[in-house]
Structure 1
Amino acid sequence: MVQSSVLGFPRIGGNRELKKATEQYWSGKITQQELVEVGKKIRAENWLLQKQNGIDLIASNDFSFYDQVLDLALLFNVVPEQYTKFDLNSLDKLFAMGRGLQRDSIDVTALEMVKWFDSNYHYVRPTFKPTTDFKLPAEDALIKPLAEFLEAKALGVETQPVILGPISFLTLGKPEKEFLDTLELLDLLPKILPVYQQLINKLVTAGAKNIQIDEPVLVLDLDQKTQAAFKTAYETLNLSGSNVTIASYFGTVIPNLTAIESLPVSGFHFDFVRAPEQLEPILEWLSKKEYKLSVGIVDGRNVWKNNFAKSLEVINKAVAKLGADRVTVASSSSLLHTPVNLEAETKLSEEIKSFFAFATQKLGEIAVLTKAVSSPETVSAELKANQEYVTKRATSTLINNKAVQDRVAGVTDAMGRRNHPFPERYAVQKDFYKLPLFPTTTIGSFPQTKEIRINRNKFQKGKISSEEYEAFINSEIEKVIRFQEEIDLDVLVHGEPERNDMTAYFGEQINGYAFTLNGWVQSYGSRYVRPPVIIGDLSRPKAMSVKESVYAQSITTKHVKGMLTGPITMLRWSFPRDDVDQKTQAFQLALVLRDEVKDLENAGINIIQVDEPALREGLPLRSGAERDAYYSWAAESFRVSTSCVEDKTQIHSHFCYSDLDPNHIKALDADVVSIEFSKKDDPNYIREFKTYPNHVGLGLFDIHSPRVPSKEEFITKMGKILETQEFEKFWVNPDCGLKTRGWEETKLSLTHMVEAAKFYREQYAQK
């Protein structure tokens, strides 16, 4: 019989219990044991929910208090020396590695955080050295995959432990700084495989009948050494005693198929949502083998209901070729990337709600598809209702707006070009702004205090009037402006107190978006986001940010930046439509933002920042024509958004937490770019940005950590950057916005940053 499988389930809890408990623990309001109990409760609810929905292969070890890659690093003793000097228990060590720690005599920065492939989830990148001592904890209770497997077993739930595989774990990490140019990470494979073997042996001994080993790097461009490493690794491991499935997702494995075609495992999981074109070659290959196939067909990355008829075509092809006993119906990836439960949405219109399936509902979709293969009569009502949904959505009046479609069709090359190239623009800007060397600024947001959240909630619930709320927002803007003036920042921001989220805030004012009350997904650690959903063609009924920017500018003589979210980030940090290509959606957003940029300029806002942190995230995972095309239209969409202004108007953009190529940023033609940099310890990365022709700010402190860098630390960081960067082009700024930080640490960090800028201003004044 065909089985069903879920590769992972959201770990945040239906009401964000994990976030609340974790932040309470960090602030000392609950004990570690109380936090651990919250995690245990969430895991139990997730396992039992999946069992109740008839899922056969239920994942365990998909839970994390911070990040699953960081969990594995800690489990295997991949812990840099700075975190071992102090008497920290395993959970506090995990948090120190993920977010840094500054208390008593402890002062450590966090490890680097980067995007998980092309998703908006961030993982903590492990660091290795030639002498890394891979080993498991001495106590079985501290071996997380084993402990959670036994925990589920005690509840009567047979689970499939999930482990990140050795090739992916190594290649997604990086060497420690002193070994950047000398250590090839795959050379550590012989040292790490015995530890994987010990872990697998313990799971098998505990009764694990199935184990899922994730090797997501199979969808990337892999060199011959990496491809050969798969054969070496899996032929070295003794996997007998359990059915081991190697899982990949987010793309096609076909270019790397030879690397896995004869591995001694039981089966494979492939993503046929993101890469349906790989079905035929995979079935042809598997027809000559004995492997089982897990068919990833229910989208783990989006909220739209599954089209059962289309999915059954794929599943039935697999069954016809391989037989029912070799096929599993599964989510395309972990459901980590989707909200927990649609039933929590009480304010969506019934029509819009009928289009969606969140993680809980996707369990039902997987169960229906599984039953439909062998006994369709048992789910005939569900199949009929699904076909009605497909028809209803295609004909919905919420979807199509001909005026928007016509405007996108009318976009010209000239709309994506500034009046003059940067050198000519900068000559005008230099004379107009008269900024000092090493101009200081922030990325946009300031701390979102409890008072801000309370007043926003009151306004949304109608407990205060729009006039009262506007007065409150203006008072918060004035506080931020006065503080920035006090510490002598050069280019100010209004602090964004009116904004709940950099994507949702604008989406709420754009026709074609839908919003949820509880559609939270984890971005990293305790940072959860509530992505809006693009349901139809996009247009702007009125200005979205001008009022607050104009007010901020009216109360200071310094320049205040207008702050917007760019078209690619608006697209990527939403749940996009799956019935229209992403390029079309990006250009619809570009035209919305073009109107906003022009309105800001007309209102006297002469510096406008259009953030594109998701630019790298949208990059196709493999090199080639598709990737080149993406970079072309992504850059053009940004330029269409920003090229409508005069030469003196300075366009800024910001990028964070992704590996960036200066050539691709150059294509945006922004006057100034700011880039997350504080946790980069690769000197080559600094040198790469020397080629950037316009102005650049490399972020000087980690805004995701509560620690406060000293003035001397800022001076040291700037000194290293200035060894390769042109000082006339260098801006001074944090890594990202300060929304998640507290006011005291924000004040100290920014004060020290400005002091460091002034130190170098004096040093370079005569050059």
Structure 2
Amino acid sequence: MLNTIIGYPRIGGKRELKFALEKYFKHEIPAEELKSVAAQIRKQHYGYFAEQNIDLVPCGDFSFYDNLLDTALQFGIIPERYVKSGLNDLDTYFAMARGVQTDSVDLKALPMKKWFNTNYHYIEPEFDGKNVVKFNPVFLSGLIDEANELKLNYKVAQTGPFTLLKLVKYVAGTSVNDLRDALVSEYVEFLDFCRSKNASFVSFAEPSLVKDLTAEDKQLFVEIYRKLLSVKGNLKIGLDTYFGDIRDIYNEVTSLGFDAISLDFREGRKTFDLIRANGFPKDTVLVAGLINGKNIWRSNYDTVIKALDELKSLGINCALGCSCSLLHVPESTEFETKLSAKILSYLSFARQKLAELNEIKAIVNGDSGADKFLADNRALFSVKRVEDDAALDAKIASLTEADFTRLPERTERLRIQHDVLGLPLFPTTTIGSFPQTAQIRALRRDFKNGAITRQAYEDGIAALTVDCLRLQEELGLDVLVHGEFERNDMVEYFGEKLDGYIFTQNGWVQSYGSRCVKPPVIWGNVTRKEAMTVKMSAFANSKSDKDVKGMLTGPVTIFNWSFPREDLPVKTSIQQLALALRDEVLDLEKAGIRIIQIDEAALKEKLPLRRSDWESEYLDFAIPAFRLVHSGVKPETQIHTHMCYSEFNEIIPWIDAMDADVITFEASRSDFAVLDALKANNFKTEVGPGVYDIHSPRVPSVDEIVNALKLIVSREDYHKVWVNPDCGLKTRGNEETKKSLQNLVEAAKILRSQYN
């Protein structure tokens, strides 16, 4: 049996790519140095693959920012405005990813969305019919040359044409039919190019196959691959699917004649059933995705081997793989020096998953050392890792419908809140965080390293908080935030204050571009040991005559942005978090906080990719969990929530059912597409669609924001509209933040004068 992987983390074990990118964006290093850092990272990766005897390694999975953006650039799906900018290939690429604003060029970034059911964000390509669709190996050529020079046994990893066609945004009256033929022709050119480079294996990633497919979708896929497989020549062609099963198109896929097909056995609920019922072609290699590519726990070797044995008994030629790319887990546990040996024995990051692939292959093949590999793994799984919490289990079991219901009804609550809070039309606010400057990071680092006392650290944070409040008052914002300078991350911060969590030093995962997150790990049962935010929120609220929001992260987002337990149902883990946060909300209210924001930025992230599974497997407990958090507050306490960078249109009725009083959405980067869905569903909650994109260094003009607000009020009752950026300001600089918010407040005043 052989083994392979779909993809590998690219930021580097110590985030080398992140820091090089940020220097390049600031014009501190040239493109050649950025490319040199990237090449060194890839060389290290190839060394790891060799150490662990990975038989077929990916080439082309590396990206400076995002793989789908790479593919769009490579096939000429570049909007005309970027082509006309006069920028070189690399800077055109970054302009599409994050926008650009100079004396001569002012371009917004393309929309950014969540990659299927993960916290990774992709850049949405745009097709307007003016794109010159033409294959250009802008980055790929060098990657293949590099792999050839190193004499690797590699596969060219490429996003497939079906998924690209499904994820492109079609504008100006265009549709998939306007792009498909030209694109498929250029994929033929891509195959010719791979042959010319002496590549022998190409693997197309088609994760869109795991979603609900129409008859037209299936026909499109089959027609595309009949064409590509008919011209493959001496190339081997593989298909990578992940994040679910391909129940809608299994028979069509397996009959096309692929040389290898990767199937997900972790999230693919029906993958085994499909194989048992329909068989699998004997002349195709099944890459069995049995190692979890999205979580960080060791695999149970007996479970994996049992599955492989059954596949072998069915006469299937198997290779062992991961359920998806390892992009979604950290690089290696070797960088963790503070976790105990016991904890580390249970953790498996990307490099450890390579070792698992090697060890299981050795066991199946009967290689030397295999007995010890299996014995050590069995010893790990022979003991119970987490003890039960009977009191917490009883508390969850005793919940009734009343615990999930807030009274009075929202319309009556909003009337009371308007009287109590006395806010103007088009109230202005921000989402929560303010820029995390070098000064703040140095303060946090000095305290962590013991260079300053806790009191000095807290005094420093307090001073920064007061400065932030004064700035917001000077700008004229109506509802303030305290800036969150004491918080390292919107999830890790809460995890540190809850029992049941453990934390890594370098467990970084790419979220988008140069932005990395370090998800905490749910190790045991989660409970609140003490108040988490009340002291800082009460302090900030006492320093201004305006309301300062209490800021919390919601239970679903904390869960989705953590590495969760695999020995506990998702519903139970989320309910544990909801009970802890409910206590925090009630304590904030007691401390005099009149507006409390409970962010659920990741609500949609774990939504099953198939609509038929939505309610039974997720929404029936995710939405009530949010209601559980806030149902106990008084009518005059206003509950806000925030969501970003997901396609929420399809679940708008469920979002309204969260029963918040105000919700802020990411909207500007996706051209306010959410507005039509809000109108169509008669959305009841007051709403703040973000009027400018904070993930770009651009400063929006007053006119730009006024036009955004006019678009919003053309679809929403203006009495319900809030004015805010589309997300937190943590990643932005002070000066651009101040200018952007000045323009935001001025735009709100203009709308206010018109509608008063």
TM-score normalised by the chain length of structure 1: 0.96
Render the CA deviation track for 1:184-214: whole Å, top value 9, x for unaligned.
3155221111111111111123222221101
Q: Does 1:720 align with 2:711?
A: yes
Q: Does 1:663 align with 2:653?
A: yes
8 Å Cα contact 1:109-1:707 kept in structure 2? yes
8 Å Cα contact 2:262-2:289 kept in structure 1? yes
Aligned to 1:152: 147
Aligned to 1:29: 28
Aligned to 1:303: 296
Partners of 2:254 and 2:194 in 1: CA distance: 25
8 Å Cα contact 1:399-1:512 kept in structure 2? no
8 Å Cα contact 1:149-1:159 kept in structure 2? no
8 Å Cα contact 1:266-1:292 kept in structure 2? yes
Report the residue type matching 1:314 in the other structure: A
Partners of 2:693 and 2:13 in 1: CA distance: 30
Partners of 1:663 and 1:64 in 2: CA distance: 37
Partners of 2:445 and 2:509 in 1: CA distance: 20
Aligned to 1:588: 576
8 Å Cα contact 2:239-2:260 kept in structure 1? yes
**Count of residues in Structure 1 that have an aligned counterpart in Structure 2:** 751
8 Å Cα contact 2:672-2:689 kept in structure 1? no
Aligned to 1:172: 167
Aligned to 1:70: 69
Secondary structure of the residue aligned to 1:151 is: helix
Render the CA deviation track for 1:632-653: whole Å, top value 9, x for unaligned.
2111000001111000000000
Aligned to 1:10: 9
Render the CA deviation track for 1:242-297: whole Å, top value 9, x for unaligned.
22111100111122213313213212100101125421422553445522100001
Q: Does 1:51 align with 2:50?
A: yes
Partners of 2:232 and 2:657 in 1: CA distance: 49
Partners of 1:297 and 1:227 in 2: CA distance: 26
Secondary structure of the residue aligned to 1:365 is: helix
Segments of 5+ residues of structure 1 without an aligned counterpart are none
Report the residue type matching 1:631 in the other structure: L
Q: Does 1:109 align with 2:108?
A: yes
Q: Please, which of 285, 290, 306 is the counterpart of residue 292 of structure 1?
A: 285
8 Å Cα contact 2:667-2:673 kept in structure 1? no
Partners of 1:213 and 1:706 in 2: CA distance: 34
Q: Does 1:251 align with 2:250?
A: no
Q: Does 1:545 align with 2:533?
A: yes
Q: Does 1:613 align with 2:613?
A: no
Partners of 2:429 and 2:420 in 1: CA distance: 17
Q: Does 1:209 align with 2:204?
A: no
Moved more, 157-166 or 474-483: 157-166
Q: Please, which of 531, 537, 550 is the counterpart of residue 519 of structure 2?
A: 531
Q: Please, which of 670, 691, 708 is the counterpart of residue 699 of structure 2?
A: 708
Q: How does 1:132-281 map to 2 (within 5 A)?
A: 132-137=131-136, 142-176=137-171, 178-179=172-173, 183-237=174-228, 238-281=231-274
Q: How large is the Cα RMSD of the aligned pairs?
A: 1.4
Secondary structure of the residue aligned to 1:293 is: strand
Q: Please, which of 335, 339, 343 is the counterpart of residue 334 of structure 2?
A: 343
Report the residue type matching 2:140 in the other structure: P
Render the CA deviation track for 1:411-446: whole Å, top value 9, x for unaligned.
211111112101111111011000000000000000
- Tell me the CA shift for residue 377 of structure 1: 5.4
Report the residue type matching 1:81 in the other structure: E
Render the CA deviation track for 1:513-571: whole Å, top value 9, x for unaligned.
11000000000010000000111110010000011101100110100000000000000
Q: Does 1:677 align with 2:667?
A: yes
Q: Does 1:478 align with 2:469?
A: no
Moved more, 477-486 or 234-243: 234-243
- Tell me the CA shift for residue 408 of structure 1: 1.5
Q: How does 1:415-434 map to 2 (within 5 A)?
A: 415-434=403-422
Q: How does 1:315-464 map to 2 (within 5 A)?
A: 315-323=308-316, 326-375=317-366, 378-392=369-383, 395-396=384-385, 398-464=386-452
When residues 286 and 345 of structure 1 are mapped into structure 2, their CA distance, relative to the original with a 3 A threshold, is same
Moved more, 358-367 or 282-291: 282-291
- Tell me the CA shift for residue 625 of structure 1: 4.2
Partners of 2:286 and 2:277 in 1: CA distance: 12
Render the CA deviation track for 1:350-401: whole Å, top value 9, x for unaligned.
2111110100010000011112112165311111111111123xx23x4432
Partners of 1:21 and 1:615 in 2: CA distance: 32
8 Å Cα contact 2:9-2:328 kept in structure 1? yes
- Tell me the CA shift for residue 620 of structure 1: 0.5
Partners of 2:570 and 2:96 in 1: CA distance: 36
Partners of 1:107 and 1:399 in 2: CA distance: 57
- Tell me the CA shift for residue 733 of structure 1: 0.3
Partners of 1:186 and 1:621 in 2: CA distance: 24
Secondary structure of the residue aligned to 1:310 is: helix
8 Å Cα contact 2:501-2:521 kept in structure 1? yes
Partners of 2:350 and 2:615 in 1: CA distance: 30
Secondary structure of the residue aligned to 2:248 is: helix
Aligned to 2:733: 742
8 Å Cα contact 1:687-1:725 kept in structure 2? no
Q: Please, which of 629, 635, 640 is the counterpart of residue 647 of structure 1?
A: 635
Q: Does 1:598 align with 2:589?
A: no
Moved more, 82-91 or 218-227: 82-91
Report the residue type matching 1:696 in the other structure: V
Secondary structure of the residue aligned to 2:490 is: coil
Aligned to 2:497: 509
8 Å Cα contact 2:112-2:670 kept in structure 1? no
Secondary structure of the residue aligned to 2:611 is: coil
Partners of 2:392 and 2:429 in 1: CA distance: 36
Report the residue type matching 2:16 in the other structure: E
Q: Percent identity?
A: 42
Report the residue type matching 1:665 in the other structure: I
Partners of 1:518 and 1:98 in 2: CA distance: 26
When residues 287 and 418 of structure 1 are mapped into structure 2, their CA distance, relative to the original with a 3 A threshold, is closer
Report the residue type matching 2:90 in the other structure: L
Partners of 1:717 and 1:366 in 2: CA distance: 51
Segments of 5+ residues of structure 2 without an aligned counterpart are none
- Tell me the CA shift for residue 499 of structure 1: 0.3
Report the residue type matching 1:432 in the other structure: V
Aligned to 2:750: 759
Partners of 1:708 and 1:407 in 2: CA distance: 49
Secondary structure of the residue aligned to 1:94 is: helix
- Tell me the CA shift for residue 105 of structure 1: 1.1
8 Å Cα contact 2:251-2:278 kept in structure 1? no
Partners of 2:526 and 2:121 in 1: CA distance: 28
8 Å Cα contact 1:441-1:732 kept in structure 2? yes
Secondary structure of the residue aligned to 1:254 is: coil
Partners of 2:556 and 2:78 in 1: CA distance: 35
Q: Does 1:692 align with 2:680?
A: no
Q: Does 1:522 align with 2:522?
A: no
Q: Please, which of 546, 551, 555 is the counterpart of residue 563 of structure 1?
A: 551
Secondary structure of the residue aligned to 2:431 is: coil
Aligned to 2:96: 97
Partners of 2:29 and 2:177 in 1: CA distance: 41
Secondary structure of the residue aligned to 2:21 is: helix
When residues 63 and 625 of structure 1 are mapped into structure 2, their CA distance, relative to the original with a 3 A threshold, is closer
Report the residue type matching 1:155 in the other structure: L
When residues 524 and 689 of structure 1 are mapped into structure 2, their CA distance, relative to the original with a 3 A threshold, is farther
